[in-house]
Amino acid sequence: MTDLQGKTIVITGASSGIGAATAKALAARGANIVLAARDQDGLDQLAADIRQTGGTAVAKATDVTDREQVQALADFAVATYGTIDVLFNNAGLMLFSFWKDRALDDWNRMLDVNIRGYLNAIHAVLPVMLERNSGHILNMASVAGHQIGDGAGVYSATKFFVQAITESMRKELGVREGIKASSISPGVIDTGWADKVNDPTGKQAAQELNQVAISPQSVADAIVYALDQPANVTINDLVISPTRQNW
């Protein structure tokens, strides 16, 4: 028996990488998992894999940049399991480019997913948690929110934002409402992110950085640790870095 047994956990960006690894790890500890991402087929396969190994999971295709879709996700979680105990705000984009490249489309995509997506999810789950004076919001941050690497100015800015809102929620919601807020700040993780970079110069920088990447499972283990704590304990911010770094 763990503190995760029977808890309902909503995971955005769940169809692959850190989200998928975390979903499996939390389901193995008895949590009810609500999987969200844009890839319905990927979500359905992951949910089936979790159920096949004895876990509990449902899936709903969700674009976190769409406020109505995120609200529908929260409503779906409550309708299925009765409540939401944990939000793992995980959907994100890391698109490298240099300022001289003026990669405005990539910058705006990161703002939409990494900032508006997080706010949409928080907005959707907070009423459920406030009504119960209980809950946990875990935001995926990054070492890029602590230090800025080459070609990562806008990405780092979005992760500084995540650090700021997490600290604000921790002070306000934790003290007054009994709702935990914490963050995980990984270094470079091998999730296929480097292949999504469109800018040629940024792609080269991303591929070089990815050479020292650690596995999604390592991050999932840290997330389980942060969430599997007694009600009176909050793990504020875990920084997880490769032993060898070229950041």
Question: Rounded to whole angstroms, what are the CA distances from 129 to 4, 173, 198, 227?
Answer: 16, 10, 39, 16
Q: What's 212-233 look like in SS3?
A: HCECHHHHHHHHHHHHCCCCCC
pLDDT exceeds cutoff 50 at 184 = yes
| Lowest mean pLDDT across 25-34, 74-83, 113-122, 212-221 | 212-221
| Lowest mean pLDDT across 69-73, 96-100, 119-123 | 96-100
Catalytic site positions: 155
**pLDDT tens figures, 202-230:** 556 555 565 667 888 989 999 999 999 99
Q: How many CB atoms lie within 10 A of CB 67?
A: 16
Q: Give dist(CA 142, CA 187) in Å, integer.
A: 6
Q: What is the mean pLDDT of residues 166-170?
A: 96
Does residue 117 contact residue 40 with C-beta atoms inside 8 Å?
no
pLDDT of residue 247: 44
pLDDT of residue 194: 53
Check the CA dihedral 84-90-92-98 and report its sign: positive
Between vectors from CA 26 to CA 51 and to CA 42, what angle results, nearest 5°? 55
